[in-house]
A and B are shown apart, each in its own frame.
Chain A
């Protein structure tokens, strides 16, 4: 009887050891798999073959309908403070010259006042509503919708309604406030603060695959507006200006344009310009190593264009340190 009890105890210990061993092995496997997945998602890839260092808007083209109407590649597709919707005109030869050959398709004011347009490689135009001094022409339920102007017909129509994290609170009249295009991956990036409130940051940066018209990846809980993709030797990054701080951040992109990993701080704009509290409203990469940032105040309230003071800043990329250095500081 005693031997039997001893044998049972011994068996139990052996079972425990066996289960412990299996448990450790399982944990190791989970850890390794998790690490691999995390690494793939966060690590930057070397820039893929065929992609060039610098900005990624080289392929953007003039809409076909505009060429058919006699506009050349220098024509300007514009949205401005006083005219509702989108319109096109010939580039003035001199500053201050009256606009010539101005055209607006009947559908181009259907979505109210609009933010800056972005063209794709085929000449399709993507725009999002951007309220000016009121929401009369920009109802809240349209603020998270991207509209597309067809390159062939010139018609503006709803393209995609982006999902949002929270309903639009009365304290925040904005939705999509930034768009950028990447020719390498045919991706459209949209920054939206739809649903964000004073005490809750619910903004999302979306990657929309223009081949499928679907949202392929998202970066959540970040309120941003100025967007731009830049190819470094170490890989693609999406740069974005925060709306709550005078800071520019970035996040790695895969070769397929997918947003990967965690965002990282790039530089602060605190103290820049006359006001010292500019936010990066617009980010454009001009040459292989040049970033243009348009800064202005942003307080989640509406503002007339005549009231907005904007300052342009230029930065140059230092590939050795993988950082951006301001070039235009008069105090330096």
Chain B
């Protein structure tokens, strides 16, 4: 073999290795699903799927009826049991057992009774150097609060009490086991692993280190993270033990040092990867579309087709303008969107959901829904917004925005700015004096400026053949709603000018009470007959917090010993009804 031959062979070998490595790296780059976020749902104790969870719910319910609403730790030796009893019967230890305003019992539980540590010795507990002392740790689920009592069993005295807000003590073993069981039975865990794990598969998390590594920052609930190792990956399953539900699952690489998986990081990572970084195709019945979560315009649907006919180029929620009438110019312009790297202030903690619309027991369509939360909701000045896209089997569709309070007061007016880009060329008309009057140029109108037809149709988009949609604004005819009182704006969709096609920064101020909500800036009297059109739809809905009249509102109420939100939602938006026999 001469030198040249050896060189050629060497180069060939190197190229082959490179090609092989390229091939293998491309096959390795097949994306692994990052995990899943479980949509929030109201907990129904009647539907607890696990016997252990059901038993615990019953136990908690019984304890809440007791004069001293504290679930005690059982199976303790005599000195520890005595320490527990001394602590819970002392009024200094009982400071947070009941709701301060109503006196209702809160959910409290002793998590541990431990010998005093050297570091626990203070002036108040100095005598423990000569006597037998224990620290009794109690967790308050409602307040996410840890109370520690330092007890001298020798002197039968509670020496000192400390409270630590937003802190959880180490969970007792039965709660650890319960967390594993909830995780192991969860469809999301089974789907991620590809099999149903038994409890032994979970790397348990009741060590101090592991407990410190997960938190439920948004719900402020007690959470544990059973971890299932699968080869070189580990599946974190975050379990909310306050509600007894799985928060979500997240894959990580074993052996890689990184930040802990927490409720917030799990939700943010998965929502971003699955819904912010890419569009998702959705096909249901005769409807087809794509959707994506935007930086500041909420969930954007695009390329919407019904029976292969283009209906909408896109639809989204540009802004929420919230004003309060008691203080001039006080309010907020909120954007909704992705949870990280976005211009949104009220963000998605989970992806969109799709559910059937059932009327009179019959499936008549489906709903694509996306929710956005403020971190502190339902506390005052925090917000919860919803987008709904309802698609019906008969070709109708509705684009709606919803608010579930709570905001900064009961004198608020919510003005969402909806933007709908209609597909193909249309002309726009208003029902005026018992006839459809076509608009020749861009413009705006208040809903009260015209009257609807007997069927409730107030506006019409129609192409040159007469095909298109009637538009039915909310007038209180939709169940549970009080009407939209909307402003509508019709503008030309310019192919060469971005008037809101891409993500929009805040389009208008919080507190204008007239039509000046932002879309008016795109009105410049251009002709709009048989043209590609944009409908801007800005409802105006007042909230109400009066008992029995609540609307666009939320309250924090006690439910089974923990604070939960009672929701009074309001929805607003136009229904589009196909023009029959044009």
CB within 8 Å of B: which residues of A? 82, 132-136, 139-140, 170-173, 197-198, 245-246, 270-271, 274-277, 297, 299-304, 306-307, 309, 330, 332
Contact = CB atoms under 8 A, between A and B. Distances in A.
Contact of A304 (B259, B330, B337, B374): B374
Given A274-B215, A302-B343, A330-B164, 17 more contacts: A133-B333, A134-B334, A134-B343, A136-B333, A136-B505, A172-B341, A275-B215, A275-B264, A277-B259, A297-B217, A299-B340, A300-B342, A303-B345, A303-B375, A306-B376, A307-B374, A307-B382
Contacts of A302: 335, 342-345
B530 to A, nearest CB: 33
A270 B260 CA distance: 9
Contacts of B369: none
Contacts of A170: 295-296, 343, 502-503, 505
Residue of B165, B213, B295 ringed by the most chain A CB atoms within 10 A = B295
A309 B379 CA distance: 13
| A-B CB proximity, top 9 nearest | A274-B166, A134-B506, A133-B345, A306-B381, A136-B506, A171-B341, A299-B340, A302-B345, A275-B217
B262 interface: yes
A277 B338 CA distance: 19
B508 A277 contact: no
Nearest to B162: A330
B268 interface: yes
B422 interface: no
Interface of B: 119, 164-167, 212-213, 215, 217, 259-260, 262, 264-265, 268, 272, 295-296, 319, 330, 332-335, 337-345, 347, 374-376, 379-382, 502-503, 505-506, 508-509
Nearest to A199: B341
B338 A301 contact: yes
Could you tell me the dominant secondary structure of chain B's interface residues? loop
A171 B506 contact: no
8 contacts: A134-B319, A136-B509, A139-B505, A171-B343, A277-B215, A301-B344, A304-B374, A306-B376
Nearest to B294: A170
A304 B345 contact: yes
B335 A134 contact: yes
A300 B341 contact: yes
Contacts of B167: 274, 330
B119 A332 contact: yes
B119 A140 contact: no
B165 A300 contact: no
Contacts of B502: 170
Given A270-B259, A304-B332, A171 B264 contact: no
Nearest to B335: A134
A131 to B, nearest CB: 8
Contacts of B337: 301
Residue of B272, B345, B379 ringed by the most chain A CB atoms within 10 A = B345
A313 B462 CA distance: 63
A136 B507 CA distance: 7
B259 A173 contact: no
B231 to A, nearest CB: 26
A135 B345 contact: no
Contacts of B295: 170-171
Contacts of A172: 341
B215 A133 contact: no
Given A133-B332, A133-B333, A271-B260, A301 B212 contact: no
A275 B337 CA distance: 22
A276 B214 CA distance: 8
Contact of A134 (B265, B333, B380): B333
B508 to A, nearest CB: 7
B166 A301 contact: no
A74 B476 CA distance: 56
Contacts of A277: 215, 217, 259, 262, 264-265
B343 A301 contact: yes
A297 B264 contact: yes
Contacts of A301: 337-345, 347
A151 B515 CA distance: 42
A285 B265 CA distance: 31
Nearest to A271: B212
Contact of A140 (B215, B344, B347, B505): B505
Contacts of A299: 268, 339-341
B45 to A, nearest CB: 28
Nearest to B508: A136
Contacts of B509: 136
Residue of B295, B319, B502, B505 ringed by the most chain A CB atoms within 10 A = B505
B112 to A, nearest CB: 15
Residue of B119, B167, B296 ringed by the most chain A CB atoms within 10 A = B296
A300 B340 contact: yes
Contacts of B376: 306-307
B341 to A, nearest CB: 4
A135 B262 contact: no
A269 B506 CA distance: 34
A255 B262 CA distance: 43
Contacts of B341: 171-172, 197-198, 299-301
A56 to B, nearest CB: 32
A277 to B, nearest CB: 7
B295 to A, nearest CB: 5
A132 B344 CA distance: 10
A305 to B, nearest CB: 9
Residue of A139, A297, A300 ringed by the most chain B CB atoms within 10 A = A300
A41 to B, nearest CB: 31
B510 to A, nearest CB: 8
B343 A173 contact: yes
Residue of B119, B341, B342 ringed by the most chain A CB atoms within 10 A = B341
A281 B340 CA distance: 17
Contacts of A139: 505
Given A301-B347, A304-B332, A307-B382, A171 B508 contact: no
B192 to A, nearest CB: 23
Residue of B268, B319, B343, B505 ringed by the most chain A CB atoms within 10 A = B343
Contacts of A197: 341
Nearest to A330: B164
B243 to A, nearest CB: 19
Given A170-B343, A270-B260, A275-B215, A135 B338 contact: no
A302 B335 CA distance: 9
Contacts of A134: 319, 332-335, 343, 345, 505-506
Contact of B259 (A140, A171, A246): A246
Contacts of A132: 345
B264 A135 contact: no
B342 A276 contact: no
Given A136-B333, A136-B506, A274 B217 contact: yes
A130 to B, nearest CB: 13
A300 B339 CA distance: 9
A135 B335 CA distance: 10
A313 B304 CA distance: 51
B432 to A, nearest CB: 35
Nearest to A270: B259
Nearest to B264: A277
A132 B346 CA distance: 12
Contacts of B505: 134-136, 139-140, 170
Contacts of A303: 345, 375
Residue of B344, B503, B509 ringed by the most chain A CB atoms within 10 A = B344
A268 B342 CA distance: 26
A241 to B, nearest CB: 15
A113 to B, nearest CB: 12
A275 B376 CA distance: 13
B382 A306 contact: yes
A270 B265 CA distance: 13
A246 B342 CA distance: 20
A330 B164 CA distance: 8
A140 B295 CA distance: 15
